[in-house]
Amino acid sequence: MHSLNYHKASNASEAARLLSGTEDGKFLAGGQTLIPAMKTRLAAPSDLVDVSGAADLRGITVSGRDVTIGAATTHAEVAASGELRNVCPSICEMAANIGDPAVRHRGTIGGSIANNDPAADYPAAMLALGATIKTASREMAADDFFVGLFETALEDDELITSIGFTAPEAGAYAKFPNPASRYAMCGVFVARGDGGVRVGVTGAGADGAFRAGEFEAALGGEFSAEALNGISVNAEEMLSDIHGDGVYRANLVSVMARRAVAAAS
């Protein structure tokens, strides 16, 4: 890892101020992706501004069915929140299966979606839940936020402050983990709410997480695994690598979608 200057921010505005004074600084949340990337020198920021202890970026609030999760809230906190589980158990279950217990104690929801790893779990959930991603200056719909592989609509110096969504009536996430890395080879989050059915897919798309429109239309008519018979995503738009080609991944999307619908029904 290259030399760097470390700064600790106690709140979001201090974090923004600290970053603005750096040459090529980055925000550090849980560091479960950024630190490994720095070790391999895929990332070499001059400065790190640690937001993991920023009080105004932490915590979960549930008001009726409206959920707000602070960006620096850890996966373990999302998984263990009884209040959140009461209205949206699917996101708790999803968070409980990210990485491993030690990673979940450090890794954060804001860090995960800002990184937008094509095999990360949270982007699928954000798309399916129709989440709003908030920063100090604006709000973005998840549909506009995830741009491509490791790319988001965030500006370089823009910090996610919280994520908001309305808990769906029913939802579930089904994941086929890579047997070695345990990252999603394919993960499908299905949510049925007032606005219809939304299906978010991670791990499979060549351009990162995406919504499966045809699946959504079919499930909007009848919310059952059988409704997905004969429908599939385009294999040519799927990732193809040593772990599985596009045809394999397209099939996984169908299988995981059926499992998620069955679990949510």
Can you give the binding site for another protein, defined by CB under 8 A?
Answer: 1-6, 8, 28, 31-32, 35-36, 39, 48, 50, 52, 76, 80, 99-103, 105-106, 182
Min dist CB 180 to another protein, Å, is: 9
Min dist CB 184 to another protein, Å, is: 14
Radius of gyration over alpha carbons of the chain, in Å? 18
8 A C-beta contact, residue 108 and residue 190: no
Min dist CB 5 to another protein, Å, is: 6
Q: With respect to another protein, which residue has the nearer C-beta, 22 or 132?
A: 22
Q: With respect to another protein, which residue has the nearer C-beta, 6 or 63?
A: 6
Phi, psi at 164, each rounded to 5°? -125, 145
Show Cβ contacts of residue 193 under 8 Å, excluding neighbours closer than 6 positions.
130, 166, 167, 168, 169
Span between the terminal Cα atoms of the chain, in Å: 48
Q: With respect to another protein, which residue has the nearer C-beta, 80 or 255?
A: 80
How many angstroms separate the most distant Cα atoms in the chain? 56
Q: With respect to another protein, which residue has the nearer C-beta, 28 or 225?
A: 28
Min dist CB 208 to another protein, Å, is: 22
Cβ burial, residue 20 (10 Å; 0-12/13-18/19+): exposed
Q: Whole-angstrom Cα distance, residue 67 to residue 162?
A: 10
Instruction: Report the alpha-carbon angle 69-160-46, nearest 5.
Output: 135
Min dist CB 51 to another protein, Å, is: 11
Min dist CB 211 to another protein, Å, is: 29
The 10 Å Cβ neighbour count of residue 109 is 29
Q: With respect to another protein, which residue has the nearer C-beta, 45 or 205?
A: 45
Q: With respect to another protein, which residue has the nearer C-beta, 80 or 235?
A: 80
